[in-house]
Amino acid sequence: MAHLPPFGAVLKSNDVEDLVNRYVHRTLAYWFVRSIFKTRITPNMITLSTVVIGFLAGCAFIWGTPTAMFVGGACLWAAAILDGADGILARAKDLQSEFGRALDGSADALVAVFTVFPAFYHIWVTYHNPYHLVLMVPALGLTVMHLAAYDFYKESYLRGTRPGQGGEGHDADKIAETVEAARNEGPIIQMAMKYTLVPHLMRQKAVVNWLNPNAWRLSQLLQSDDQTAEIYRKENLWPMRLWALVSSAPHSYLMAICAMLNRLDVYLFIRVFLMNGIFLVAVIWQRHATCRTIEELARVGAIEVSGTKQSLTT
C-alpha cells in the first residue's frame, strides 16, 4: 500500500475504547505509524519493542529513585501507545496474521509481568506497610477478571454491531477451534496459544458464565445483520463504554502517571477500590442490558427464548 489509510480506517470501533486511549494513545500511535510506514519496520517488530520497553520500565521501578520512577512511568506509557501502533500498522498494510495476534497477546502478558511485580516490590520497599501487601492480592486477581470480562464484551460488541466484519481477536466460545488452528501454525504460535491465549479464553468463559450466563449464550446464538446490529448497539453501548474503563489501557496509563509521580501506592488504591467499583457497576448494568437485548432480539425473531424472556434456548 503506497499511502497510509486515514486515521478512522485503521481503528476499531470507538465504542470499545475509553476516551484517553481513543484520543491520546491511538492518535500518537497513528502518527508513529505514519513516520515509519514506508520503512521495513513490521508490526511484529513493534510488538517486540513493547516487551523491551516494558522490561525497562520494570527495571526502573526496582531501581526506585524518583528519576528512575519517572523514566519507568514514561516507558510504560510508551509501551501502551506502541501496543496500539502494531495493530494500526498491521491493518494499514494488511499484515494481520495468527502469528501476530498470538505474539501480541504474549507481549501484553509479558509487559504486565515485567511491570506489575516490580511495582509491587517498589511499594513494599518504599512503605513497608502490611496493608499494601493485603491489597496486592485482590489488585492482581481482580484485574485479571476485569481484562477477561472486557475482552469478551468487546469481541461480542464488535461481532454484534459490525455485520460482515466481526471482532478483532479470538472468540471465547471457539476455544476448540483456536487450539486446532494452532496445530498448523508452527511451534511458536502453539506455545503462545497454549500458555497465553487459551488460558485467557478459558478465563473469559468462566468469568462470563459466572457473572452473566445469558451473555455467553447470546454470543453463541447471535447472527448479526443490520437490524440486530442496531438493537445490539442501542442496548449495549453504554455498558460497553463502562467496560472500556477497566480495560488494559486505563490500567496502563494510570499506573504510568502514578509511577512518574512516584506514588505507585495511589495506583494500588485506584486499582482495588475505584476500578472494582466501576467493575461492579458494569456487571449490574450489563446484566440488565443483556436481558433487554434478548427481549428485543426475540421480538424481531432473531433468537428464541424458552421459559422466561431472560432464558435463551441453546
Residue 101 pLDDT:
72
Q: How far is CA 265 from CA 98, 142, 269, in A?
A: 38, 17, 7
In angstroms and rounded to an integer, the radius of gyration of the C-alpha atoms of the chain is 20
Q: Which CATH architecture has domain 7-299?
A: Up-down Bundle (1.20)
Q: For residues 266 and 233, is the Cβ–Cβ distance under 8 A?
A: no
Residues 55, 59: Cα–Cα separation, whole Å: 6
Residue 198 pLDDT:
73
**Which cell is 117 given?**
511485580
Provide the residue ranges of all domains of the chain, joining segments of one domain with +. Answer: 7-299
Residue 308 pLDDT:
46
Residue 293 pLDDT:
96
Residue 179 pLDDT:
59
**Which cell is 291 given?**
436481558
Backbone angles phi and psi of 19, in degrees to 5: -65, -40
**pLDDT < 50 stretches in the chain:** 308-310, 314
Residue 314 pLDDT:
41
Residue 120 pLDDT:
97
**Which cell is 213 given?**
450466563
Q: For residues 57 and 253, is the Cβ–Cβ distance under 8 A?
A: no
pTM, full prediction: 0.87
**Which cell is 303 given?**
433468537
Residue 143 pLDDT:
93
Residues 218, 309: Cα–Cα separation, whole Å: 13
